[in-house]
Structure 1
Amino acid sequence: MALLKEESYTIEDIYALPDGERAELIDGHIYYMAPPSYKHQKLVMELSAIIRNYIKQHKGTCEVLPAPFAVYLDEINNTYVEPDISVICDPNKLDDKGCKGAPDWIIEIVSPASRKMDYLLKLFKYRSAGVREYWIVDIAKNRITVYNFNHDYSIEEYSFTDTVKAGIYEDLSIDFSEINIL
């Protein structure tokens, strides 16, 4: 589980972290991040490549950005996250520091240290911030949970043998049975 300091912090505290130390800032609390596993990173790269290739083939304008990539969910500088994969379709949200506001689609790959954050805290923050679609990919549980906040607030569950449709695109589906992360 991520460690929580009980003081109130700002984005300046995140910037002041020692080199190599990663953390997220949610509602003024710092949550330190453990390094990702090999399977975690391989899955991030595979999913990012599938989404990027789809966007390029369809001459889309959205950007796919894997972690570490800064997302500032609010304007008061007390929520800074680094989603495993962010898809941003509004170029005005992007600058050299990261994404200002909610990405259109976020994918988090669950790790033992991030389980509570991904399923509870980030789910609420992403929905509240205006993320259109949120996927939680849980390797240990062989589960993909898809939250579509865009229209109907639906929740769908899939396994790694299923094909999962991306809600923000008309015709993008990802066949998880074709992704080899072992």
Structure 2
Amino acid sequence: MESEKPSTVNEPDVRYGYYSYADYLTWQMDEVVELIKGKVFKRAAAAPKRIHQRVSVKLASRLYVFLEGKKCQVYDAPFDVRFPKKSKEDRKIHDVVQPDICVICDPSKLDERGCIGAPDLIVEILSPGNNKVELQNKFELYEENGVKEYWVIHPEQQTFFIYTLIDSKYQPSHLLTSGDVVESVAVPGFVLDLEEFFGDIE
């Protein structure tokens, strides 16, 4: 049985510990807030480091140019991705995240509030605001909900990890860095030469 919560709140109260997308929509906060299995994850109010934003803008731009005229669409944060279980009702959705970048190839998953259902590709760019618990929970969330491909980028170390969904389980790549070439399975034909991509990022 769920704890009784206030009907309207300006921000989540960690004492209750289990929230829905309906609650999320009532919050007025400076921080980026995500829900994973009903639990609140807050990021710092301060903006990410410049290098984080440089990587994000550069990658999103390349995906946008590559996908122009195709049915797949790319979005960058802030952009809500909701993962419904048995119902798409706001009060029954307990997983809402804001990936740095995502690609959605099924237009029926898009509405005026973002994406409802699994994107084909999710990219998370690490920053000091990320924590290990959050990253582990997101890995499990994306795997359970069928996100075909999940990229984790460390901008300062200029490294990539790619998790590809095979038989409902993520298979990790080796650690990818300068000299490696990324080829997306979820976005066929999209190729990223990491030496060239990171060449002017510092």
1:53 to 65, 68, 82: 65
1:5 to 10, 14, 21: 14
| 1:143 has 2:153 as partner | no
Q: 2: distance between equivalents of 1:117 and 1:39? A: 23
Q: How does 1:86-125 map to 2 (within 5 A)?
A: 86-117=102-133, 119-125=135-141
1:166 to 184, 191, 196: 184
When the two chains are superposed, the root-mean-square deviation of aligned CA atoms in Å is: 2.0
Q: 2: distance between equivalents of 1:181 and 1:25? A: 31
Unaligned runs of 5+ in 2: 1-12
2:187 partner amino acid: Y
Residues 50-83 of structure 1, C-alpha deviations (whole Å, 9 max, x = no match): 1111112xx3111100000000012431110000
Q: How many residues align?
A: 177
2:142 partner amino acid: Y
2:48 to 4, 28, 36: 36
Higher Cα radius of gyration: 2
* Larger CA deviation: 170-179 vs 147-156: 147-156
Q: Tell me the residue number matched to 1:62.
A: 72
**TM-score, structure 2 normalization:** 0.80
Q: 2: distance between equivalents of 1:18 and 1:170? A: 39
| 1:23 has 2:23 as partner | no
Q: Judge conservation of contact 1:11–1:78 (CA < 8 Å) in 2.
A: yes
CA pair 85-118 structure 1, distance change in 2 beyond 3 A: farther
Unaligned runs of 5+ in 1: none
| Secondary structure in structure 2 of the residue aligned to 1:83 | coil
Q: Judge conservation of contact 2:41–2:134 (CA < 8 Å) in 1.
A: no
Question: 1:142 Cα deviation (Å)?
Answer: 3.1
| Secondary structure in structure 2 of the residue aligned to 1:149 | strand
Percent of pairs with identical residues: 32
* Larger CA deviation: 169-178 vs 127-136: 169-178
| 1:181 has 2:185 as partner | no
| Secondary structure in structure 1 of the residue aligned to 2:189 | coil
Q: Judge conservation of contact 2:125–2:154 (CA < 8 Å) in 1.
A: yes
Residues 25-50 of structure 1, C-alpha deviations (whole Å, 9 max, x = no match): 11111111123221111111111111
Q: Judge conservation of contact 1:48–1:66 (CA < 8 Å) in 2.
A: yes
Question: 1:153 Cα deviation (Å)?
Answer: 4.0
Q: Tell me the residue number matched to 1:80.
A: 96
CA pair 147-41 structure 1, distance change in 2 beyond 3 A: same
Residues 94-124 of structure 1, C-alpha deviations (whole Å, 9 max, x = no match): 0001100100000000112214156411111
Question: 1:177 Cα deviation (Å)?
Answer: 1.8
Residues 114-149 of structure 1, C-alpha deviations (whole Å, 9 max, x = no match): 141564111110010110000000124432000110
Question: 1:161 Cα deviation (Å)?
Answer: 3.8
